[in-house]
C-alpha cells in the first residue's frame, strides 16, 4: 500500500478540524535540501516544496521534490512522482498522542525517530516506482527556526537507506 496515500486521510482530517496562524518565518529562510538514497543510488537537490500545517501547528507535512508539482495544494495533496522524479515527504508529527499536542515552536529541536507521545521527524523518499520509508538506524533532528506563515527548519536526517540535509524554507500553503 502506498504509504503517502495511506496517511493522507488522517492528515486531511486533522487539517479540516483545526487552524493555524502566525508571523512569517525568518528572513533568508530558503529551500536548500539534499536527498541521497544508498539503496536506489539517487542523489538530488530538492527545488520545489509545499507545506501543510496540521492540528493548529502541532505538526507539519512538507513535500519537497526535484520536479514541479503542477497541481493545486489542498488538504488532500498527494503528488504523483513522474519518471526520474524524487519526492521527500517530511513530517514533523506526534505518534499516539494523548491529549492536546502543543504547537511546534521556533527554536524547538525535534529528534528523528518514531517514538510515541512527542514530536518527531520522519522522512519518506518516493520515486515514480518505489517508496523508501524504512527508518532502521535513524539519527538526526530538525531545528525549527520559524513557524507561522512560513516554516523554516534546519534538517539533519539519516537512516540505513537515505539521508536528507539542509534547510526547509517554505510558505505554509494549507492550514489545518
Enter the DSSP assignment of 14: H
Side-chain-side CA neighbours of 3 within 13 Å: the count stands at 17
Cα gap 52→175, rounded to integer Å = 6
Domain count, the chain: 1
Cα gap 86→124, rounded to integer Å = 11
pLDDT at 176: 67
Q: Are 142 and 26 in contact (CB under 8 A)?
A: no
Total Cβ atoms within 10 A of residue 106: 16
pLDDT at 99: 87
Torsions phi, psi for 5 (to 5 deg): -70, -35
Helices (H) and strands (E) in the chain, counts: 1, 11
**Residue ranges making up the domain that contains 60:** 3-174
pLDDT tens digits for the chain (176 residues)?
Answer: 344 444 443 433 333 222 333 344 565 689 999 999 999 999 999 999 999 998 889 999 999 999 998 777 776 777 889 999 999 999 999 999 888 899 999 999 999 999 999 999 999 999 999 999 999 999 999 999 999 999 999 999 999 999 999 999 999 988 76
Amino acid at each position: 500500500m502506498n504509504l503517502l496515500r495511506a496517511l493522507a486521510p488522517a492528515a486531511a482530517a486533522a487539517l479540516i478540524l483545526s487552524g493555524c496562524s502566525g508571523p512569517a518565518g525568518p528572513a533568508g529562510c530558503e529551500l536548500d535540501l539534499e536527498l541521497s538514497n544508498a539503496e536506489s543510488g539517487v542523489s538530488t537537490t530538492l527545488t520545489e516544496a509545499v507545506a501543510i500545517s496540521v492540528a493548529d501547528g502541532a505538526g507539519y507535512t512538507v513535500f519537497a521534490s526535484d520536479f514541479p508539482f503542477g497541481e493545486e495544494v489542498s488538504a488532500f495533496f498527494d503528488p504523483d512522482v513522474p519518471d526520474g522524479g524524487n519526492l521527500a515527504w517530511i513530517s514533523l508529527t506526534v505518534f499516539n498522542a494523548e491529549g492536546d499536542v502543543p504547537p511546534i515552536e521556533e527554536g524547538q529541536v525535534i529528534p528523528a525517530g518514531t517514538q510515541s507521545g512527542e514530536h518527531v521527524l520522519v522522512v519518506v523518499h518516493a520515486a515514480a516506482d518505489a517508496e523508501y520509508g524504512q527508518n532502521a538506524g535513524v539519527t538526526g533532528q530538525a531545528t525549527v527556526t520559524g513557524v507561522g506563515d512560513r516554516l523554516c527548519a534546519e534538517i539533519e536526517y539519516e537512516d540505513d537507506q537515505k539521508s536528507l540535509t539542509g534547510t526547509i524554507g517554505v510558505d505554509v500553503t494549507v492550514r489545518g
